[in-house]
């Protein structure tokens, strides 16, 4: 009754505080209904609206922020910490934005408390895959700014079926040995930018799956983690939409398993990767600084003795320096049936143990300009 009265007298108000919808910042009470209530009010609003999450710890079991909405300027302003229940369930998503246009999320921390699920995965028990912390799906014109994502059960952020998504100044943190905790996964999306962010995880810092076009990644610190990857591609049952028009610029990798990686299954699934630029990248003790692996076949099932049908072309590597943690710093293991073409390398200087590292090149053609260490035989 009180709530109804409140709503009816504030229809003109354009800022909705979750406390007014019954949220408790006590770290114990599930505030899911309050988050949904505040979102629905903002979404119904005919004018720009804010949803505010004040300081404090809010326990949130699950939230779907769904559109379409009546306005295209909703800001979710987070000051506090949003925590997931410390046990896990079979949910695949935790905080999700779906069918929204013109939404911005600013600040705050989302702590998924993934430890219980990682413990399960690291034992031999059967465990659910886990939830992605922040998902943006089937949405356009979305900005995520200054958000901290901690200890996700699975991926920290997933951008799927969306366009014009800007991610900036995010800080993603999970232990280096936490399973499947990718930082940001992008697929079936276009016009995505990720800038000025620090990512430390147990899997890829950023990964791009099939159907990714026009991605700009700049000024990223990555490590620990598995690096920045295009792929795995070709792991599905049918031919795939390709990956094109990607720029990865000014990245520092420290102690990562890979630096910049393109990875495809050794399967007869067709697809492509084209027009990718990697530039101004620093490697600090990275296991595989530059790697193209078209022989991916974990557990050796479904793909032994097959070759990848993903065509990799027009890939440019420029100004890449630093140290490799292994002797082979540059590895092109391209498909014998779809050789890599149009690979260009310029100003590469990678060392192993303070000496020039080695390059391994299979089924690859291209050009080199300037100093290239290791020597690449393109």
Residues classed as catalytic: 226
For residue 126, what are the contacts with CB-CB under 8 A and spacing of at least 6?
none
Decide whether 129 or 161 has the Cβ nearer to ligand NAG: 161
Helix extents (H) in the chain? 2-9, 32-44, 115-122
Nearer to ligand NAG by Cβ, of 329 and 343: the residue is 343
Minimum Å distance from CB 274 to ligand NAG? 7
Q: Which is nearer to ligand NAG, 198 or 325 (CB)?
A: 198
Least distance to ligand NAG from the beta carbon of 299, Å?
Answer: 13
**Is there a cis peptide before residue 68, judged by omega within 30 degrees of 0?**
yes
Q: Is 131 helix (H, G, I), strand (E, B) or coil?
A: coil
Q: Which residues contact 351 (CB under 8 A, 6 or more apart)?
A: 322, 323, 324, 329, 357, 373
Residue 185 CB-half CA count within 13 A = 23
Burial class (CB in 10 A: 0-12, 13-18, 19+), 281: buried
> Which residues of this chain interact with ligand NAG, rule CB under 6 A?
14-15, 27, 50, 57, 72, 75, 77, 86, 101, 140-141, 143, 148, 150, 164, 166, 171, 173, 196, 198, 213, 219, 221, 242, 244-245, 247, 250, 252, 275, 279-280, 282, 304-305, 318-319, 339, 347, 363, 365
Nearer to ligand NAG, 122 or 302 (CB): 302
Cα–chain-centroid distance for residue 334? 25
Respond yes or no on whether the N-terminal peptide bond of residue 17 is cis (omega within 30° of 0): no
Q: Nearest approach, Cβ of 126 to ligand NAG (angstroms)?
A: 25
Distance in Å, CB of 314 to ligand NAG, minimum: 7
């Amino acid at each position: 009754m009180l709530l109804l009265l409140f709503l009816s007298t504030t229809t003109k108000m354009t800022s909705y505080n979750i406390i007014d919808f019954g949220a408790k910042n006590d770290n114990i009470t599930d505030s899911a209904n309050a988050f949904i209530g505040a979102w629905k009010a903002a979404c119904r609003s005919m004018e720009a609206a804010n949803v505010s999450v004040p300081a404090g710890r809010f326990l949130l079991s699950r939230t779907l922020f769904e559109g379409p909405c009546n306005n295209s300027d909703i800001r979710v302003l987070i000051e506090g910490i949003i925590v997931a229940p410390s046990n896990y369930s079979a949910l695949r998503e935790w905080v999700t934005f779906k069918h929204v246009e013109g939404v911005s999320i600013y600040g705050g921390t989302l702590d998924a408390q993934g430890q219980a699920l990682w413990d399960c995965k690291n034992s031999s028990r059967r465990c659910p895959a886990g939830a992605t912390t922040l998902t943006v799906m089937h949405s356009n014109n979305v900005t995520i700014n200054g958000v901290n994502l901690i200890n996700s059960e699975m991926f920290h952020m997933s951008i799927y079926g969306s366009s014009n998504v800007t991610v900036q100044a995010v800080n993603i943190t999970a232990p280096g040995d936490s399973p499947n905790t990718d930082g940001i996964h992008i697929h079936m999306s276009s016009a995505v930018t990720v800038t000025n962010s620090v990512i430390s995880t147990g899997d890829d810092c950023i990964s791009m799956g099939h159907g990714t076009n026009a991605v700009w990644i700049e000024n990223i610190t990555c490590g620990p983690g598995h690096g920045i990857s295009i792929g795995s591609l070709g792991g599905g049952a049918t031919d795939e939409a390709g990956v094109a028009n990607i720029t990865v610029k000014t990245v520092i990798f420290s102690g990562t398993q890979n630096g910049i990686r393109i990875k495809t299954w050794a399967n007869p699934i067709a697809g492509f990767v084209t027009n990718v630029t990697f530039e101004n990248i620093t490697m600090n003790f990275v296991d595989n600084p530059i790697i193209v692996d078209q022989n991916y076949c974990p557990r050796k099932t479904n793909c032994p003795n097959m070759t990848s049908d993903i065509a990799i072309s027009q890939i440019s590597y420029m100004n890449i320096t630093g140290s490799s943690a292994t002797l082979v710093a540059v590895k092109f293991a391209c498909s014998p049936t779809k050789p890599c073409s149009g690979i260009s390398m310029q100003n590469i200087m990678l060392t192993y143990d303070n000496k020039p590292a080695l390059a391994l090149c299979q089924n690859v053609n291209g050009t080199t300009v300037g100093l290239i260490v290791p020597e690449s035989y393109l």
